[in-house]
Amino acid sequence: MTDSTERRAALGELCTCGRQAIVVYSNAEFGDVGYCGIEDGQARPVLPCPWCGSTEPHRASWGDPGKCPDYQLRAPSEPGEQNETHTGSETREARPDSYRLR
């Protein structure tokens, strides 16, 4: 744990369960991850998922509550920033390069 730091979360920075975080842990492996301080928060996440819209809680393959694969410190649906983040990645993945080869 020597390479991880901890700071107070800013407004809008979210825990992996979807709640407002109170602290943010930063480390090289996972980047910035928020934590709300609620012990069983992960077992009862905010639904629908703020990141991917899933109405089912995320689970790890072994059945434990898991964080969203799309988890970011800030949810993508934040007012004002929605449009920019959305269009960029989606149009790219919809068109594989191999289609243009013929």
Q: How far is the CB of 99 from Zn ion (least distance, A)?
A: 29
Closer to Zn ion by CB, 46 or 98: give it: 46
Q: Which of 9, 14, 68, 73 binds Zn ion (CB under 5 A)?
A: 68
Nearest CA among 9, 62, 63, 58 for reference residue 32: 9
Q: How far apart are CA 50 and CA 58, in angstroms?
A: 12
Interaction residues for Zn ion, span 32-51 (CB under 5 A): 36, 41, 49, 51
Closer to Zn ion by CB, 11 or 101: give it: 11
Which window, 5-13, 31-39, 77-85, 91-99, contacts Zn ion (CB under 5 A)?
Answer: 31-39
Count the Cβ atoms, other than its own, within 10 Å of residue 5.
9
Q: Specify the 3-state DSSP secondary structure of 31.
A: strand
Residue 76 near residue 51 (C-beta atoms within 8 A): yes
Contact residues for Zn ion (CB under 5 A)?
Answer: 15, 17, 19, 36, 41, 49, 51-52, 54, 68
